[in-house]
């Protein structure tokens, strides 16, 4: 099973008001194990970068001035994505920007049915807790000490580790639970993580005759044992 974990950086919060995608980072998983295959690109946004957005990701107008437009790498990105499920944190935000850019350059948009939202999974598993990427990395012991500012590829790498933990943990890679036994069901309103575990057979412990004799000898040394008192 192939899945792509991805993250984006943008000029703001709403593509419908002119905000643009400026960075995307994608990590390939096969059976929820990173393969090492990635796609990463910066894009010229064809507008100025607001100071608030630059403070989050550090991508300045000067840095982005010589980067390609999204349309120039759209086909390459779509080829990498293929028809795989797409995993993102607060996925509607990332899907919204990705599809807005695809529409702008007349490419087919990505079907929302391919979306897996790790925030929705986290809310199901940990209701009432904090669900930011930082908070969840801390909960699952994922090292984020090198995360000074937001960056699409770095955040996708952290999210890939988090997604593995949210859907069964590192035991998946150790084959302690078969891939076919782990299912993520995602809809607009519901995310269910089903991990089917095979029951272990009961273990039978048999005492040797020597052990029985030692046990009986020990019991004889107990004064007024409670198990010999008459029932009330």
Annotated binding site for substrate: 7, 9, 57, 155
Q: Give the CA distances from residue 97 to residues 17, 26, 88, 101, 227, in Å, rounded to whole numbers and listed in that order.
A: 11, 15, 12, 6, 73
Contact of 160 with 88, CB cutoff 8 Å: no
The C-alpha atoms of residue 149 and residue 154 are separated, in whole angstroms, by: 10
Active site residue 40: no
Query: Which residues participate in the annotated binding site?
Result: 7, 9, 57, 155
Contact of 103 with 109, CB cutoff 8 Å: yes
Query: Catalytic residue among 44, 131, 150, 215, which?
Result: 150
SS3 content of the chain, % helix, strand, coil (to 5): 40, 20, 40
Q: Residues 138-146: contacts with CB within 8 Å, 24+ apart?
A: 140/165, 140/166
Q: Give the CA distances from residue 196 to residues 183, 184, 199, in Å, rounded to whole numbers and listed in that order.
A: 9, 12, 9
Query: Which residues participate in the annotated binding site for a divalent metal cation?
Result: 7, 9, 155
The set of catalytic residues is 150
């Amino acid at each position: 099973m192939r899945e792509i974990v991805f993250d984006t950086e943008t000029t703001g919060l709403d593509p419908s008001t002119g905000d643009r995608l400026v960075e995307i980072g994608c990590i390939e998983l096969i059976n929820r194990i990173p393969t090492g295959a990635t796609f990463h690109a910066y894009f010229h946004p064809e507008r100025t970068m607001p100071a608030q957005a630059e403070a989050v990701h550090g991508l300045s107008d000067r840095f982005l001035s010589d980067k390609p437009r999204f349309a120039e790498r759209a086909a390459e990105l779509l080829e990498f994505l293929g028809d795989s499920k797409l995993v993102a944190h607060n996925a509607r935000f990332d899907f919204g920007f990705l599809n807005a850019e695809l529409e702008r350059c007349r490419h087919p948009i990505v079907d929302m049915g391919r979306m897996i939202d790790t925030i929705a999974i986290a809310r199901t598993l940990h209701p009432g807790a904090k669900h930011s990427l930082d908070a969840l990395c801390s909960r699952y012991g994922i090292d984020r000490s090198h995360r000074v500012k937001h960056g699409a590829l770095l955040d996708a790498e952290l999210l890939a580790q988090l997604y593995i933990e949210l859907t069964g943990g590192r035991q998946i890679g150790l084959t302690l639970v078969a891939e076919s036994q782990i299912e993520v069901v995602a809809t607009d309103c519901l995310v269910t993580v089903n991990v089917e575990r095979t029951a272990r057979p009961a273990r039978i412990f048999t005492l040797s005759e020597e052990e029985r004799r030692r046990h009986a000898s020990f019991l004889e040394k107990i004064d007024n044992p409670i198990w010999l008192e008459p029932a009330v």
